[in-house]
Structures are given as structure tokens and as C-alpha cells.
Amino acid sequence: MKLTPKTATLLVLVLLVALSPVLFPSGYYYRVGALIFVNAIAVTGIVILTGYAGQISLGHAGFAGIGAYACALAPVHLGLHPSLALVLGAAISGLLAFLVGRPILRLKGYYLGVATLGFGILVSMVLNNERQLTGGPDGMEVPDLGLRGLLKDAGLDLTNGQFWYFLCGIVLILGAWLALNLFNSPTGRALRALHGSEVAARTVGVDVARLKLQAFVISAVYASVSGSLLALQNKFITPDVAGFMHSIEMVTMAVLGGVGSVLGAIFGAAVLTLLPQVLTVFAEYEQLVLGLVMMLVMIFLPQGLLPSILRKIRGRDE
């Protein structure tokens, strides 16, 4: 039996999430794993926006910020359970993406990049400046999700690291499943079509403005959920989550791994989350080596790490 790419990708993901802990030398690695998954969730959204629809955003950390601060603020001010705060954050992010996306998705290429950049900076400025509400640059505490306690009562006793590792892993698998469903669906096909040629997509009846907006909203929700999980996991949040560097990180992870494929982008998230930890041996030259690695990948493997590697392997088979 031949596996469809969708089933194969999901299978790989499930096995990775379930079996990786066997190799963990210490509990610390659960935390690294959870961080990879959190990043990978946001990057999966970027795959839908950039890989499928061909639209660029340099401001998606803004949505991560909204998701993160929703989990910090809504439980305190609205009395919502943190899990509902995550849902509220996703809804606000989606709505905001809808409102912001309408005018700016008319722009193309660099112009769209700059406009989304402006949006991200705006969110980051609000979070930094509204001290009474957000604590400003010092950040603020985030209430406990409380789910781990419930699991313990039910007889499943996980360490904090294990709990977040598996929770984020499950959310990532869910997110990847949705993105893979979309890829081969009528909507996904229309998104990829407008990526290939906007004018041709229009002539086959694709409402280009509407579809770009859908992709933008969906990817914003991914970023928001990623931000929420980060906040809930760390129990503390600063405006850095909405910062420019975080936006760039998301796009870099997606492009480095291979923005056209869900698995590739997740691979990119893993590499760029792990690399700084590995590169600490270079001490003060860490950033330099990181930049060098990224440049070399883009020069020699322009399709991204995973697609290029897979192509090499397949090429040898044939």
C-alpha cells in the first residue's frame, strides 16, 4: 500500500512526538521539545500563508503576542479559564487579521512585507506602553492552565516538562492535520493557484482577495495559539513574544526548512530552535555561526532543508 503524503507526514509526526523522549538524557529536553512544537505551530500557519498562498508576513508575532496576552489578561480581568482565554485570543487574532488583512493584502511582495511589519510593531508598541494593563517591558505573570492537576487526579502523573511536551505535540499534530487537509482541498488548490498566477486564478473564478484573507486569518490563528501555549507554559510573558525578531524567526524557520511543505517547515522550526543551543560552544561567535549556517543553506539548498534532502535521497533511489 502506498501512503499518501498526508498520512506519511502525520505518521512521521506522531512517531517523532511519541518516541523522541526515549532519547532524552534528562528532563530538560522535554522543555526544548515543547519549545520546538510551539514554534512549529506558528510556522505551520506561515506555511499556509506563504507556502500555499505565496503571501508574506513579517508581523505574525503580533498575533502571537495577542494570543499570549489573552492568556495573561483574560483570566484576571474577565475571570475566564486560561484554556478559554486561548480560544478568546485566537478569536481576537482572527478578527484582527480579518480587519487588517482586508486593506493590506491588496499589496504585493515587499510592500505587503512592510505593511505586515508595521502591524507587528504596532502590537509590540501597545504591549510595551500600556503598563497598567500589560506591565510594560517587564512583562507579567500568566495563570496556571490547571490541566496537569486534573490529569494527576485522573491517575496520569506527568512532570511539568512532560505535560507541556505532550500537550504542545498534540496541538502541533492537530495543526499539521488541518494544514494537510487544506493542501489538497478546493480552498488549498485555489490558494496554490493564486500563488502560481493571480491573473489566471481570477479567470477560473477564484476570488483572490477573499482567499488571501482566509489564508491570512487562518495563519494568524496558528500564531495566536502558539503564543498562548508559550505564555501558559512559561507562566510569564514579556512583549518580546510580539517583537520583530520573533516575526522574522517564524518566516526564517519556514523558509529554512522548506516553506512549501508542512513537515519541512516543522523541521526548520526544530533546527532553528536547537541550533542556538548547540552553537553555544562557539560562545560569543554563536550569532555569527548561526547567520553563516542560514546563508549557506539558502545558497546551496534554496528549496529549504527538508525538500532538498528528500530530493537527494530520491535521486539516489532512481
Window of 111-119, 154-162, 197-205, 288-296 that interacts with another protein by CB under 8 A: 197-205
Buried b (16+ CB within 10 A) or exposed e, 190-202: bbbbbbeeeeebe
Assess 260 for contact with another protein (CB under 8 A).
Answer: yes
Strand duo 140-141 + 236-237: pairing: antiparallel
212: Cβ contacts below 8 Å, ≥ 6 apart: 53, 55, 101, 105, 194
How many residues interact with another protein (rule CB under 8 A)?
Answer: 29
Please, what is the minimum distance in Å from the beta carbon of residue 205 to another protein? 4
**Interface with another protein (CB under 8 A), residue from 62, 188, 264, 268:** 188
**Are the C-beta atoms of 164 and 34 separated by less than 8 Å?**
yes
Question: Quick one: which of 167, 183, 156, 162 has its CA closest to 262?
Answer: 183
SS3 readout for 84-147 = HHHHHHHHHHHHHHHHHHHHHCCCCHHHHHHHHHHHHHHHHHHHHHCHHHHCHHHCEECCCCCH
Please, what is the minimum distance in Å from the beta carbon of residue 14 to another protein? 17
Please, what is the minimum distance in Å from the beta carbon of residue 218 to another protein? 7
Assess 266 for contact with another protein (CB under 8 A).
Answer: no
How many CB atoms sit inside 10 A of residue 58's CB?
22
Window of 142-150, 163-171, 173-181, 267-275 that interacts with another protein by CB under 8 A: 173-181
Q: Is the CB of 199 or the CB of 281 nearer to another protein?
A: 199
Please, what is the minimum distance in Å from the beta carbon of residue 201 to another protein? 7
Q: Is the CB of 33 or the CB of 175 nearer to another protein?
A: 175
Assess 202 for contact with another protein (CB under 8 A).
Answer: yes
Rounded Cα distance between 62 and 85, Å, is 17
Window of 26-34, 177-185, 232-240, 290-298 that interacts with another protein by CB under 8 A: 177-185
Assess 201 for contact with another protein (CB under 8 A).
Answer: yes
How much helix, strand and coil, in percent to the nearest 5, is found in the chain? 80, 0, 20
**Are the C-beta atoms of 27 and 161 separated by less than 8 Å?**
yes
**Interface with another protein (CB under 8 A), residue from 25, 79, 205, 315:** 205
What are the angstrom distances between the C-alpha of 30 and each of 12, 44, 257, 261?
18, 21, 22, 25
**Interface with another protein (CB under 8 A), residue from 15, 156, 170, 200:** 200
Q: For residue 7, what is its C-alpha cell? A: 498520512
**Interface with another protein (CB under 8 A), residue from 100, 206, 241, 263:** 206
**Interface with another protein (CB under 8 A), residue from 20, 83, 160, 187:** 187
Q: Is the CB of 141 or the CB of 207 nearer to another protein?
A: 207
Assess 199 for contact with another protein (CB under 8 A).
Answer: yes
Assess 129 for contact with another protein (CB under 8 A).
Answer: no
Assess 208 for contact with another protein (CB under 8 A).
Answer: yes
User: H or E stretch including 187?
Assistant: helix 186-196
Assess 56 for contact with another protein (CB under 8 A).
Answer: no
Residues that bind another protein (CB under 8 A): 177-178, 181-182, 184-190, 192-193, 195-197, 199-208, 214, 218, 260
